[in-house]
């Protein structure tokens, strides 16, 4: 997709996100944390989200219930190339914007690789929208109940159960132990095939609907009595999901418990799993499900004990989830990378510096002729001297001076050189300023849309910001663009 950010401008980049969607908590530590980082929570404008979803087009609806649902989820793409999921509440939801914002910010402070994290919201006029990470590989309901290529393997079902328990334990540890209407539609699969729990269910109930499905057969008994969700109610719903994983069907708990009490648990098991699990493992998972489904809430296990119990059942732990799921998995590293692409993948800034220094300005379209002409114009000489001094500082690895000189050259407004943007981008990266670096890499692409170096540098910046999935995609775009150029 050669020009991913061709409509991007630095003015848009600095003004539209409050704070930038590309900010990361790890930046406070110099971007050197070994833990994965995510975008900070941001407040989006309605127009941004309308543009990202193509005007909330029905073609972009990804929620299971479509337009008739009270709250519809859309797939969208921001101008900076990031895919998002946008949940749009109906007009009666969240009448108090302050309550909505406070709740969204609280949920948006959570960050885990077991969650589809909430990265922003919008609360303009009557509009109430939530913005989360978009996960591309469907829901657990799709893979369990409506599979096409292959049924979900036993090892993957055990992994789903564990990851889901870990998500609930993490939320509980952060004081967000209540999850509304936990079900197989709330579990999504990311690019690597790993299951993650949707953050939308962590929002407290608003005026527009009930916390639980209207199907009373799956509703926790205490919710039927009191209308309140408790941590024990969430564990009950987790038990119904264990039944889903065991059976490959949505079985009412009362029916399942009758089979379990009659020691006919094998009748619960998905016939597609026959011969692929041991009776001991099946018995243990059934036992865990029955504990979660106890009528008395106090007799149910907590999230932490669920994690402990499920950890010991895991199989094929060395096999990636996308392999177990049979999901195609493309990464830039599986493609033959150029030296610059390889350096960006490895975040080898020294190698990137050497390559950019050797490249010089030969890739600037028409820049040499324009510079040559401008040398004859005396009033341009000072601006051009700034570029020359910037190049000298860049070669000497005096990146602070390079930034200052290149900035003065660009602020002169006589011309925009993609190479100057690229060199200042690397200077920013060397100075631990990845957001500024990303802005320059994108602007380099605006000036020269068919220049692969701009995409490679965007990938390096995204890696630095901890946005690995977007970085891999951008690196792949750069590799494909370079291959296309080389064929000409």
- pLDDT bucket at 485, cuts 50 / 70 / 90: confident
Per-residue pLDDT of 289-342, as tens digits, reads 999 999 999 999 999 999 999 999 999 998 899 889 988 776 544 557 889 988
Q: Which residues pair with 77 in a beta bridge?
A: 83
Cα 411 from chain centroid (whole Å): 35
Mind giving me the DSSP string for 212-233?
A: S-S-GGGS-HHHHHH----HHH
Q: Tell me if residue 281 is catalytic.
A: no
Instruction: State how far the Cα of 24 lies from the Cα of 266, in Å rounded to an integer.
Output: 48
Pick the range with the lowest mean pLDDT from 10-14, 105-109, 207-211, 350-354. Answer: 10-14
Contact 140, 160 (CB under 8 A): yes
- The least confident of 54-63, 126-135, 209-218, 333-342 is 209-218
b/e code 39-56 from CB counts within 10 Å (16+ = b): bbbbbbeeebbbebbeeb
Strands 72-77 vs 83-88: parallel, antiparallel or unpaired: antiparallel
Confidence of residue 199 (pLDDT cuts 50, 70, 90): very high
Q: Which residues pair with 18 in a beta bridge?
A: 43
- The conformation of residue 299, written as its DSSP 8-state character, comes to G
At residue 197, φ and ψ (nearest 5 deg) are: -85, 130
Distances (CA, A) of 177 to 51, 172, 180, 184, 302: 34, 4, 10, 18, 10
- Active-site option among 26, 79, 181, 270: 181
Bigger pLDDT: 20 vs 70? 70
Tell me the domains of the chain and their CATH numbers: 41-133 (3.30.200.20), 140-325 (1.10.510.10), 332-487 (1.25.40.10)
Share of the chain above pLDDT 70, in %: 83
Least confident of 169-183, 240-254, 449-463, 464-478: 464-478
Question: In the predicted model, is pLDDT for residue 9 greater than 90?
Answer: no
Q: Could you report the per-residue pLDDT of 438-478, keeping only the tens digit for each?
A: 999 999 999 899 899 999 999 999 988 888 778 888 998 99
């Amino acid at each position: 997709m050669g020009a991913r950010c061709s409509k991007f401008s630095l003015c848009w980049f600095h003004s539209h996100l409050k704070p930038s969607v590309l900010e990361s908590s790890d930046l406070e530590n110099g971007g050197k944390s070994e833990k994965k980082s995510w975008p900070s929570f941001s407040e989006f404008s309605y127009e941004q989200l309308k543009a990202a979803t193509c005007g909330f087009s029905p073609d972009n609806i990804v929620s299971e219930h479509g337009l008739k649902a009270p709250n519809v989820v859309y797939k969208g793409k921001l101008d900076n190339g990031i895919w998002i999921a946008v949940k749009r509440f109906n007009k009666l939801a969240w009448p108090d914007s302050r309550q909505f914002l406070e709740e969204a910010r609280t949920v948006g402070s959570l960050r885990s690789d077991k969650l589809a994290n909430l990265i922003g919201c919008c609360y303009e006029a009557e509009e109430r929208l939530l913005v989360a990470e978009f996960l591309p590989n469907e829901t657990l309901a799709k893979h369990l109940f409506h599979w096409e290529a292959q049924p979900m393997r036993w090892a993957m079902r055990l992994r789903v159960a564990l990851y889901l328990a870990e998500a609930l334990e993490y939320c509980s540890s952060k004081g967000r132990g209540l999850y509304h209407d936990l079900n197989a539609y709330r579990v999504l699969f990311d690019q690597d095939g790993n299951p993650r729990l949707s953050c939308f269910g962590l929002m407290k109930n608003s005026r527009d609907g009930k916390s639980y499905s209207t199907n009373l057969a799956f509703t926790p008994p205490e919710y039927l009595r009191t209308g309140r969700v408790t941590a024990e109610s969430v564990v009950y719903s987790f038990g119904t999901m264990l039944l889903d994983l065991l059976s490959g069907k949505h079985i009412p708990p009362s029916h399942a418990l009758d089979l379990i009490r009659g020691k006919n648990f094998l009748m619960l098991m998905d016939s597609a799993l026959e011969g692929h699990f041991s009776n001991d493992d099946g018995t243990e998972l059934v036992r865990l499900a029955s504990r979660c489904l106890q009528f008395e809430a106090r007799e149910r296990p907590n999230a932490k004990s669920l994690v402990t119990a499920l950890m010991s059942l895991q199989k094929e732990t060395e096999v990636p989830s996308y392999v177990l799921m049979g999901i195609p998995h493309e990464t830039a590293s599986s493609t033959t990378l150029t030296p610059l692409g390889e350096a960006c993948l490895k975040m080898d800034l020294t190698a990137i510096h050497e390559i950019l220094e050797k490249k010089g300005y030969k890739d600037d379209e028409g820049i040499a002729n324009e510079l040559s002409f401008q040398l004859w114009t005396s009033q341009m000489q000072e601006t051009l001297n700034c570029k020359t001094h910037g190049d000298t500082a860049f070669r000497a690895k005096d990146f602070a001076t390079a930034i200052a000189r290149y900035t003065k050259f660009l602020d002169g407004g006589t011309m925009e050189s993609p190479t100057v943007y690229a060199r200042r981008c690397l200077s920013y990266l060397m100075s631990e300023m990845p957001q500024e670096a990303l802005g320059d890499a994108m602007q380099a692409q605006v000036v020269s849309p068919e220049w692969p170096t701009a995409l490679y540098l965007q990938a390096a910046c995204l890696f630095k910001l901890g946005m690995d999935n977007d970085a891999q995609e951008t690196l792949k775009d750069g590799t494909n663009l370079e291959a296309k150029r080389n064929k000409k």
